[in-house]
Amino acid sequence: MTPTMRIRVLWAVVALMVALGGLAAASPFLINTRVVKKQISKQISDWMGLPVLVRGEPVVTVFPYLTIKLKDVQVASHLGSNKPPLVSMQVLRAEMYWLPLILGKFEVRRFHLDNPVFDLVRNADGKASWDLTGGDLISPDDHNNRLALSDISLGNFQISSGSAHYVDETTGRDEYLSDINLAFDWPNTGETAAIDGEFEWRDQPIQLSARSDMPMELFGGGLSPLSLQVSSPLFDAQIEGTAATMSSLQLEGDFSFETKSLRDWISWLGGTVRSGESLGAASLKARSNLVGASVAFSDMALTIDNNRVDGVMQLDFRRDRPLIQGTLASDKLDLDAYLMPKSGSKALLDQSLAAKDLGLVDLDVRLSANQLALGPVKLGRTAATLVTRDRQMSFSISEAYAYGGRMEASLDIRPSKSEEGELSGHLRAKANGILAGTLAREMIGRAFLTGTALAEIDLQGEGENLGQIAQSANGDLSLVVTDGELNNFNLDTMQKALEPNGTVEPDALYNGDSAFDVLSIRGRMAEKTIFIDGLRVTSGKRALLGKAELKLSEMALDFPGTLALYRSNDPTTHSSEEPIEQFTFHLNGPIERPLLSLHKIGDVPVSENKDILVPGVPTDFGPIEKTDNPNPVQAPAPEQLKPDQTEPNLTEPVSGDVESLSQNNQQRGSIPKEAPSGKGRLFDPMTALSVGEPDLTPLKTFGEAVEQLFQKDDPAQDLSQSLLPASAGE
């Protein structure tokens, strides 16, 4: 190229730049702002199908982009002009493509909304203020009764310092979002749509990122890859999968959720979590399947406070009452923290529980665990079920292996039929092969009783919480312990003290242990008292038998009984063998240190054969032959009763208070309230046989715990916490 040509090209470029610069400088004067204002308003109105009002005059700026600035812009609500506008903003800026605008083509590359306010309202009829089906963007498809997305150009939308108010008049829900800063990139409805940004909700900054690769397919009922991530300082949730819109939104993919404090996250969502010290870090990873308001998790791994469960679960919110059902399995579960009351809060047993609480949600959850810790109770392989339906709850342990044996239990709670506002509870439990000593050590820190136990209870009660239900409990119970020992109770000393002219050393009665073959108890519970209709302890040639009362509010024992001596030390032969000698006695007072005294034979009840039907226990008590014993003892036969005395039916429910019951017992020569006094052989261990100071602290702890639970006024203490030894709390 010659120098002359170069100079000409240079001048041409300079001239073009000057022309373009002049054209750009003259653009504000060349562009008809009224036409642009009208075009922008019309385009937004056509997209949304809603009226658009622009009150301010448009302003045109050139740098850095050719921008049309519209002030005081409002988009009307679909609910009508008498409702707050759907969107109102101080400034709407539309960045235009300069050359197409000069050529008369109207194309916007980006909409920028400054300080917009969104009013999202669903009225009582279910109509929404954001319904856009009347516009070009979204329209109903009459063929498949779904919404269709039109193929149009959109662009990029940015929201700065916005706010949103959501009101659902059908549910009463009211939410507010502030500091909304979002970038929405959707050049064309057939291309990828993405949204990124942040906002503040319930005083928590929320980060949002979402992406749909095929939004038109998504609206058309097809599948579209979808990713969504929501995070904040409190939690992080994300899903990666595919989405579809059939009759409702469907979403399937890999889901993950993490939070530093599940308790705080639930409270942030508006829920309440009752007493308990934990519910800290939690995580959930699963394959999720969302259909409308129902979500199912498979291949789920849920971890809460280092407790992990695996399985499947479904949450269904399409019903009047939400449904939660699942099958879960865990290697080890430690639920201690959830049973202990948080400082300053009520104990678990004293938490109020109303019938309406049972009707808030329907539960059907099945759980299995190799190890399960429930406060002081440690269980091995366990299978449990929790079901709530129609304001009724059923919790059952179908099997639990612990302490060398097997247990099963069920607790049913439902509204009371007799007392409005109260609940009725029914507890049934069985245990077989339990090591009584191991269980006692776990519960109260000391094995006051050892042996292999078989137990069964069937109790019912009513109240406003679990504590009151336990207080009013009544029903049947039985216990059989074989091949064990009674710690801190000496049967040899007891026999020696009851023998004629027997003398014992102080502290001897409660020093030492006593081996026994069979201990059997069959009774019933009512009015905070256990009425033992049949009690028998066989130890070699000896057998203790009779009836007793144990007042749980005071942990006081009233046991007038008989010590029978046999020729054989085999308890299985006692049913066919007559006792060679019998001594009557009376144990009365605190269960850890009752008073022992002699008793007249006429005041000692002998339990009926039908009340004691366990291995090693005789099913028949024959008449006692006369012996050379200067103080022979013989229980009155039924035919020896006076005409005005009738043998009570001990299987009928107890009515009346404990005082009247005790009076009736005294009248029929059954269970006197106090040891006999006056002349005659009287044995009082508190004077003649001092108990001394054996270490009974764990027993007192257990007694105090039960006594607090059955206090007449207010059971304000947590039984599970009271049962723990001091070292466990440390």
What was the pLDDT predicted at 598?
75
The string of pLDDT tens digits covering residues 415-438 is 888 877 788 899 999 999 989 888
What would the two tokens of residue 629 be?
């014993």
What was the pLDDT predicted at 98?
64
Q: What percent of the chain has pLDDT over 70?
A: 72
The string of pLDDT tens digits covering residues 85-123 is 999 998 888 887 666 665 556 667 788 899 999 999 998
State the average pLDDT over residues 180-197. 88
What was the pLDDT predicted at 291?
87
How many other CB atoms are there within 10 angstroms of residue 643's CB atom? Answer: 5
The string of pLDDT tens digits covering residues 539-582 is 999 999 899 999 988 888 899 999 999 988 888 888 788 899 99
Confidence band of 359 (pLDDT split at 50, 70, 90): confident
The answer to whether the CB of 155 falls within 8 A of the CB of 194 is no
Q: Which residues fall within 8 angstroms of residue 91, CB to CB, at 6 or more apart?
A: 69, 70, 71, 73, 113, 114, 115
Q: What percent of the chain has pLDDT over 90?
A: 29
CA angle 284, 288, 294 (to 5 degrees): 105
The answer to whether the CB of 342 falls within 8 A of the CB of 380 is no
Q: Does pLDDT of 655 surpass 90? A: no
Q: Rounded to whole angstroms, how far apart are CA atoms 195 and 215? A: 13
Burial class (CB in 10 A: 0-12, 13-18, 19+), 500: exposed
What was the pLDDT predicted at 153?
76
Burial class (CB in 10 A: 0-12, 13-18, 19+), 84: middle
Q: Rounded to whole angstroms, how far apart are CA atoms 594 and 574? A: 28
What kind and span of H or E run contains 717?
none
What was the pLDDT predicted at 93?
86
What was the pLDDT predicted at 669?
33
State the average pLDDT over residues 5-32. 62
The answer to whether the CB of 513 falls within 8 A of the CB of 539 is no
State the average pLDDT over residues 12-37. 62
State the average pLDDT over residues 467-496. 89
DSSP per position, 560-615: EEEEEE-S-S-GGGTTTS--SEEEEEEEEEETTS-EEEE--GGG-----GGG--ST
Burial class (CB in 10 A: 0-12, 13-18, 19+), 209: middle
Q: Which residues of 687-707 are buried (b: 16+ CB within 10 A; e: fewer)?
A: eebebeeeebebbbbbbebbb
pLDDT top residue among 282 and 627: 282
Q: Which residues fall within 8 angstroms of residue 125, CB to CB, at 6 or more apart?
A: none
Q: Does pLDDT of 158 surpass 70? A: yes
The string of pLDDT tens digits covering residues 303-355 is 998 899 999 999 998 877 888 999 999 999 988 777 765 555 555 555 666 66
Confidence band of 49 (pLDDT split at 50, 70, 90): confident
Q: What is the model's pTM?
A: 0.66
The string of pLDDT tens digits covering residues 458-478 is 999 988 878 788 888 899 999
What kind and span of H or E run contains 26?
helix 3-30
The answer to whether the CB of 484 falls within 8 A of the CB of 451 is yes
What would the two tokens of residue 693 be?
């100071």
Confidence band of 654 (pLDDT split at 50, 70, 90): very low
The string of pLDDT tens digits covering residues 33-48 is 677 778 788 888 888 8
How many other CB atoms are there within 10 angstroms of residue 646's CB atom? Answer: 10
Inter-axis angle of helices 697-709 and 436-444, nearest 10: 70
State how beta strands 52-54 and 193-201 pair.
unpaired
What was the pLDDT predicted at 701?
46
Average pLDDT, rounded, for the chain: 76
Q: Rounded to whole angstroms, how far apart are CA atoms 396 and 384? A: 6
The answer to whether the CB of 149 falls within 8 A of the CB of 47 is no
What would the two tokens of residue 663 be?
């009076």
The alpha helices in 179-326, defined as continuous H runs, are 215-219, 262-268
Q: Rounded to whole angstroms, how far apart are CA atoms 422 and 469? A: 9
